[in-house]
């Protein structure tokens, strides 16, 4: 012990190890760089534990560090592994300030270039912002646990199963990424097998969503000929609903003050819209003609009032009865929206975003959001007028 002196340390230039005793060595490299090393055996294997640069640590300081290492060896502790644990703890402590949302954004950015489908880069932040961030977006990624994950998934697992299963997979990938980066430890709380599978029902076992039966678009012109011969408020409402591709409830609740005949525009206020946003519907000449007929029967503010009370909208069953009377009881009023969507996809070259905007579907990406601006209304008008001509047999299928 204590074989070296400060003079030995300063004059050492030859490559190799100079022993001070007690496992402490001065390591000199070919370039003359000097550092302190503590050597010990673990399970018969010789190990070298770096203590620091000789330019930073004096001989006395290096001996103090070596003494601490020898004390650890007396307790059966490996100094190298102990250092790794200290570093991991320090990294984890630093990671406490990194939120799940920050990790999610970093994950998306890191993988964006590798996603062949550009939709992924849009759907990931969209679903995370809608469902995850309100629950644990600002929470430290190290603190995200099974309870928080279930708070996100359980409310939508049965009704929006496909969205929920994709969301679970995205959360799992982000948490795995955070673990590899050293931001969290332990089991991934979003794992399915042996974890969430014990709490949530298997997606395949859930009742499938039953889509509302729709009229094939190829049958629409013939169907319209039959519908056009039916009189009454309910038949008028059904024709207006088909021509505007609105939801039945929006049509039945339509009021005259929502209509601008000069601009051929129907503005449905946000409180009557499923998505909670105002929706502007261009009116084709055929739709205006329906309103002209309805105006002859006008009694109050409602365009299509109930048969018994003029201040109450038509019931949904009134429109369904028209279909039954026409021998089309196997389709639904709401299904005509699907008929329009299929027609737009099969018979036109219109952009998908325009058709989705006509249907007032929730905008999934920025491209679709652009079509909701007021200066895009004419794009919708062209499509709506083509649809009206197709329905009424004025245009080829």
Residues 29, 165 within the same domain: no
Rg of the chain (C-alpha set): 36
Residues 151, 168 within the same domain: yes
Residue 348: what pLDDT? 85
- Does residue 211 belong to any structural domain of this protein? no
The CATH number that applies at residue 25 is: 3.30.160.390
Q: How far apart are CA 356 and CA 344, in angstroms?
A: 10
**How many Cβ atoms from other residues are within 10 Å of residue 279's Cβ?**
21
- Does residue 278 belong to any structural domain of this protein? yes
Nearest by Cα to 251 from 330, 299, 319: 319
pTM of the shown model: 0.48
Residue 361: what pLDDT? 67
Contacts 24+ apart (CB under 8 A), 124-132: 124/170, 126/364, 126/365, 127/163, 127/166, 127/167, 127/170, 128/101, 128/104, 128/167, 128/170, 131/156, 131/163, 131/167, 132/100, 132/104, 132/167, 132/171
Residues 247, 375 within the same domain: yes
pLDDT at 209 over 60: no
- Cβ contact 372:380 at 8 Å: no
Lowest mean pLDDT across 79-88, 287-296, 369-378: 369-378
Domain count, the chain: 3
Residues 196, 108 within the same domain: yes
Residue 106: what pLDDT? 94
User: How confident is residue 346, by pLDDT bands cut at 50, 70 and 90?
Assistant: confident
Full residue range of the structural domain in which residue 84 is found: 6-95
Residues 88, 187 within the same domain: no
Q: Looking at 52, 70, 95, which one is the last position of a domain?
A: 95
pLDDT at 222 over 70: yes
Q: Looking at 176, 205, 234, which one is the last position of a domain?
A: 205
Q: How far apart are CA 357 and CA 53, in angstroms?
A: 66
Residues 15, 132 within the same domain: no
| SS3 of residue 26 by DSSP | strand
Residues 55, 192 within the same domain: no
**Quick one: average pLDDT of 138-147?**
92
Residues 67, 110 within the same domain: no
User: How confident is residue 95, by pLDDT bands cut at 50, 70 and 90?
Assistant: low
The strand pairing partners of 184, in sequence order, are: none
Q: How far apart are CA 322 and CA 224, in angstroms?
A: 12
**How many Cβ atoms from other residues are within 10 Å of residue 30's Cβ?**
7
- Does residue 64 belong to any structural domain of this protein? yes
- Does residue 210 belong to any structural domain of this protein? no
- Does residue 396 belong to any structural domain of this protein? no
E strands within the chain?
16-21, 24-28, 34-42, 45-53, 259-260, 265-268, 279-282
Higher pLDDT: 178 or 117? It is 178
Vertex 59: Cα angle to 53 and 65 (nearest 5): 75
**Quick one: average pLDDT of 32-57?**
93
Q: Looking at 205, 232, 248, which one is the last position of a domain?
A: 205
- Cβ contact 321:200 at 8 Å: no
**Quick one: average pLDDT of 203-228?**
80
Residues 200, 250 within the same domain: no
Nearest by Cα to 354 from 345, 267, 258, 126: 345
Residues 107, 91 within the same domain: no
Q: State pLDDT tens for residues 237-279.
A: 999 999 999 998 899 889 999 999 999 999 988 888 877 778 8
- Does residue 384 belong to any structural domain of this protein? yes
The CATH number that applies at residue 187 is: 1.10.150.130
Residues 105, 85 within the same domain: no
**Quick one: average pLDDT of 146-162?**
92
Residues 185, 295 within the same domain: no
């Amino acid at each position: 012990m204590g074989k070296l002196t400060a003079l030995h340390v300063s004059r050492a230039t030859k490559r190799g190890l100079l022993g001070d005793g007690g496992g402490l060595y001065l390591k000199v490299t070919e370039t003359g760089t000097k550092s302190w090393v503590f050597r010990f055996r673990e399970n018969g294997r010789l190990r070298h534990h770096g203590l620091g640069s000789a330019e930073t640590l004096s001989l006395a300081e290096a001996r103090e560090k070596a003494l601490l290492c020898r004390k650890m060896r007396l307790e059966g502790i490996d100094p190298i592994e102990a250092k790794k644990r200290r570093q991991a703890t320090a990294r984890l402590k630093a990671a406490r300030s990194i939120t799940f949302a920050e990790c999610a954004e970093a994950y998306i950015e890191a993988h964006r270039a590798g996603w062949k489908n550009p939709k992924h880069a849009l759907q990931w932040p969209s679903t995370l912002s809608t469902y995850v961030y309100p629950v644990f977006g600002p929470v430290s990624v190290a603190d995200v646990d099974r309870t928080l994950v279930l708070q996100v998934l359980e409310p939508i697992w049965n009704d929006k199963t496909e969205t929920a299963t994709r969301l679970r997979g995205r959360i799992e990938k982000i948490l795995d990424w955070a673990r590899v980066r050293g931001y969290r430890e332990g089991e991934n709380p979003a794992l399915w097998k042996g974890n969430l599978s014990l709490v949530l029902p298997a997606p395949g076992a859930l009742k499938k969503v039953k889509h509302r039966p729709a009229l094939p678009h190829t049958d629409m012109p013939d169907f319209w000929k039959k519908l056009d011969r039916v009189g009454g408020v309910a038949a008028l409402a059904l024709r207006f609903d088909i021509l505007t591709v609105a939801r039945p409830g929006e049509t039945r609740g339509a009021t005259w003050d929502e209509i601008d005949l000069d601009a051929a525009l129907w503005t449905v206020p946000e409180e009557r819209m499923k998505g909670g946003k105002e929706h502007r519907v261009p009116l084709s000449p055929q739709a205006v003609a329906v309103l002209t007929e309805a105006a002859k029967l006008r009694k109050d503010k409602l365009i299509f009032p109930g048969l018994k009370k003029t201040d109450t909208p038509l019931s949904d069953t009134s429109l369904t009865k028209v279909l039954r009377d026409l021998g089309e009881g196997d389709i639904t009023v709401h299904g005509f929206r699907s008929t329009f969507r299929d027609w737009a996809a099969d018979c036109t070259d219109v952009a998908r975003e325009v058709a989705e905007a006509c249907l007032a579907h929730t905008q999934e990406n920025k491209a679709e959001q652009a079509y909701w601006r007021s200066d895009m209304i004419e794009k919708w008008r062209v499509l709506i007028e083509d649809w009206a001509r197709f329905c009424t047999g004025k245009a080829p299928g």
